Structure 1
Amino acid sequence: MDAEEFLDRYAAGIRQFHKGNRQGIDLKGADLSEIDLFSANWNGADLSEATLTRAKLNHTSLSRASLTNASPES
């Protein structure tokens, strides 16, 4: 799933993306409030400047992911 499809699903109200592989996905600046990425692979993802309010990142792999200026609040 590419970034566009991912954001379309998120906009449709889907918040659970458990165990998915989004390695290297570019979601720079996206509002991902209340997202649930339990046990997912987000290695190398670009989440810089993203809003991660109430995000659930339990057991999520974020190795080499960019979280520069990512915000836990909107």
Structure 2
Amino acid sequence: MSIESPLVLNAADVARRLNLSVSTLAKMRLSGAGPAYSKLGRRVVYRLDDLEAWIAANRFRSTSEYSGKRVRV
């Protein structure tokens, strides 16, 4: 039996994976600084592809590369 990855993750799962609090993730959604998300009714969900793209876009090799603003994807 193989375990397939879910199509989408809820906010609590994403916060846990990113080692953030759920409220920090919510603030990032409000400011547009976090990963792309979707609304399914009242639910906020994230696709794994969007999380990986956001993490890759916010990767830096030195502190001089970091402009202080998070990159949106």
Q: Which has the larger radius of gyration?
A: 2
Give TM-score scaled by structure 2 length: 0.18
Which has the larger share of strand? 2
Greater relative contact order structure (CA < 8 Å, 6+ sep): 2
